[in-house]
Chain A
Amino acid sequence: MKKILFLYLTLINVAFGYHYDDIVLKAQASIFPKIILLDKKIQNKLIDGKIVYTIVYNKSDYNTALSIEKFINKNFQGSLDKYNYKVNLVEFEKFSIQTQASAVYVLNLSEHIEKIAKVASEKGIISFSYDINNLKKGLMFSLVIEKSTVLYLKKEILFATKIEFVDALLQMVRFVEADYIDKNNFDYQNKLNSRNYYAKYFMNQKK
């Protein structure tokens, strides 16, 4: 049943919205919440003692956002390490400075990205992007599956938001400049050779 639903949603997405790479989505859903905990001042970003992981989406991507929420809840079982968390789904239009968020995950958007990046910057929270190309618009992290999983970090945003991460994170991420993304022209279709690993990984998790 779950498989049918998942297939249905995928088909809806294919029919009405942006095509998301399920493997990448799951990889990001597995890793990004954990990165929140690598913020040395995470306590300052708790809302009512909880980590609020806000997913910003386009209306047409609601189902994707919902599936991500479910995946996260299933994966983390309501807590990130010692903190409880809440996944908050917010449409682009509704996202503002008042929106509760300890970190924001932005699905693929054609517009409003700068606005979200600005809010995140103002709030001093981490911003994750599904699409690495959105980093040049001011989002902080993205994850790409190449030969191995690569975590990208926009250096300027890191300096701007003044978020302090554990040192190791900075050692393992690949920093990107503004023009880096253009030069490399990330094409997910070409990066599928490493997906087998994650496919296996996620399959194991389901079992």
Chain B
Amino acid sequence: MNIIFLLIPLSLVLLIAAVWAFFWAIRSGQFDDLDSPAWRILLDDDRRPPDTDKEQ
């Protein structure tokens, strides 16, 4: 059972990594807009506009 003396601290490292990742996501504004992603999924992206009609 002595292995848990290694494994639990390791899991804590993962925990810290997860918290850091969340903080980074919040800081970079990924949680600021929780409305549009829900809508966006309903609309298809795969229809590409014809290349000939590029503006400018």
A binds B: no
